[in-house]
Structure 1
Amino acid sequence: MTQARNQILFRVWGKGGETRGAFHQVDLVSQLIADRFPDYRAIIPKSHNTRTVVGTDAFLQAVRVAQLFARDNANIVRLKIEPNGDTGVGNLHLTANSAEMGNSKNELDAMVEGDDLEIDFDVRYLIAVLSQIDEEQVVLETTQSNRPGTIRPLGLGDEEFLHVVMPMHPPR
């Protein structure tokens, strides 16, 4: 990784396709596979029915609180997205349940365009992506409760930062 560009430089050598990268005290060695890599673009949603813009820090804090309760319930946090008419102002509700601890409910103000939606995600994956976003606001785009959603910082294009998050189905 060059400090000026925050990049890891890899070298590929030998017939076996071994790659090696190093930065400070970290060495990373990998083996290239000969097969074609699946087309990852196939799982990226091409459109959305609901677009939610919310403060990154507030969203991350609410998700971290939900994690305390979600541990007993397969790490599931339910997001309920509600637009409020044509104003664009709406709400993002986060709910997590624990048989021992009770329930966690948080409500965040959000800019919501599109349809109402309830969707379940693994709270750990939301924390992982939100922890990497430095911008003030984040965009969550969703289609249906059983389809992947995308998360990215507001103002950045898909080529700069795009995270696909798969929905979960709650245990029965």
Structure 2
Amino acid sequence: MKISVERATLLKAVGQAQSVVERRNTIPILANVLIEAEGDTVSFRATDLDIEVVDKASAMVERAGATTVSAVTLHEIVRKLPDGAMVQLTDDGAAGRLTVEAGRSNFSLATLPKEDFPVMASSEYDANFSAKAPVLRRLFDKSKFAISTEETRYYLNGVYMHVSDADGGKVLRCVATDGHRLARIDAELPAGAENLPGVIVPRKTVGELRKLLDDDDTEVAVSVSETKVRFATPDITLTSKVIDGTFPDYTRVIPQGNTKKMEVDASEFAQAVDRVATVSSERSRAVKLALGEDKLVLSVNAPDAGAAEEELVVAYGDEPLEIGFNAKYLLEIASQVDRENAVFMFDSSGQPVLMREGNDTSAVYVVMPMRV
């Protein structure tokens, strides 16, 4: 194999591959990226046996072929090369070495046989549909903060993507929860997604998927089966196993009877929470919200560190209410609001709170209160 690739193109392709590779693994071949060159295209394939990513790039292929080399080492080399450099990759086949040349730089890297590289088995998909990158980006970006990191409740370690009923008919919905907060995001149901089986997309896959969704004009082909999910753009294909478990009935957690409505400027609210939380003890980071007519007083009282209080002008006309929250959860939820106003719906000091953006019900968040 002998190819020449522009440095920026190579860096992007190898960067996507090396982020999938697990740093600590007992199978040497899994630390490698499979490089396959043919025609005028080179593809870079990496896997951790749960996720597989294939990134295609344009290249000048002098001699077709394939080999595998350490993904992290190759990425580090390409990253440190000067901008605009042409990088030549040469694999002589016999010596088990890949030569990387750019200008006066020359590297020789150990390779492993391409035959040893595991390729994820293809499967039949139950649903195939296309969606614009911004639609998928919104669904996953606004829900991923609520993914649980508790390994014991593994079925919460991802985003639950499924078809659901909403006021205007069926929608494509993503939900994530860790038991303390919940995010439920809806989008118009794309054609072909009607038979979508509900799947839990793992946290790592959600992180990798984000890199495919930067370009607003990109159309992403999504394929889903009971065990796998695949996202494909013209250049990159990301295939992942889904979490084998049953996502809990989240609809029971979303309060229906919350009538006390507070409307507040989202960024002002987030900044105020951040300021008063500065003095709270890291362990609890509890912030008390005291609601009165058209005003909100945020306060923190940490006996060992000090106290803080800040008053905000809000739209609130119901009876006074005092309720406490984890500051981190409030900040994360407030940061999801794209519009100016966040609407909080309360019931009582012990009941979960509902938050949405203005009158938009396609993005709904729930957060559990805490004692303060």
Residue aligning to 1:106: 310
> Equivalent of 1:135, from 339, 362, 368?
339
Q: Distance in 2 between matches of 1:67 and 1:22?
A: 42
Alignment of 1:50 with 2:260, yes or no, is: yes
Relative to 1, partners in 2 of residues 1:113 and 1:30: Cα closer, same or farther, differing over 3 Å?
farther
Which blocks of at least 5 consecutive residues in structure 1 are unaligned?
84-89
Deviations 1:78-125 (A, max 9, x none): 001112xxxxxx111101122343111011011113221100011101
* TM-score, L = length of structure 2: 0.39
Corresponding letter in the other structure for 1:81: L
Alignment of 1:68 with 2:278, yes or no, is: yes
Cα pair 2:230 2:237 within 8 Å, conserved: no
Query: Matches of residues 1-172 of structure 1 in structure 2 within 5 Å?
Result: 2-7=132-137, 10-13=222-225, 17-21=227-231, 29-33=240-244, 35=246, 37-72=247-282, 74-83=284-293, 90-156=294-360, 158=361, 160-170=362-372
Corresponding letter in the other structure for 2:271: Q
Quote the offset at 1:20 in angstroms. Answer: 4.2
Deviations 1:12-61 (A, max 9, x none): 35xx71334478999683424354x3221111111224211111111011
Corresponding letter in the other structure for 2:256: K
Which blocks of at least 5 consecutive residues in structure 2 are unaligned?
1-130, 138-208, 210-219
Quote the offset at 1:3 in angstroms. Answer: 3.2
Cα pair 1:72 1:98 within 8 Å, conserved: no
Cα pair 2:260 2:345 within 8 Å, conserved: yes
Cα pair 1:52 1:112 within 8 Å, conserved: yes
Q: Distance in 2 between matches of 1:147 and 1:67?
A: 22
Larger radius of gyration: 2
SS at match of 2:351: coil
Relative to 1, partners in 2 of residues 1:68 and 1:42: Cα closer, same or farther, differing over 3 Å?
same
* TM-score, L = length of structure 1: 0.79
Relative to 1, partners in 2 of residues 1:80 and 1:95: Cα closer, same or farther, differing over 3 Å?
same
Corresponding letter in the other structure for 1:161: A
Quote the offset at 1:155 in angstroms. Answer: 2.6
Relative to 1, partners in 2 of residues 1:118 and 1:132: Cα closer, same or farther, differing over 3 Å?
same
Aligned length: 159
Q: Distance in 2 between matches of 1:72 and 1:39?
A: 32
Q: Distance in 1 between matches of 2:326 and 2:239?
A: 28
| Off by >6 Å, runs of 4+ in structure 1 | 22-26
Q: Which protein has greater RCO, CA pairs closer than 8 Å, 6+ apart?
A: 1
Quote the offset at 1:143 in angstroms. Answer: 0.4
Q: Distance in 1 between matches of 2:283 and 2:134?
A: 43
The CA RMSD over aligned residues, in Å, is 2.7
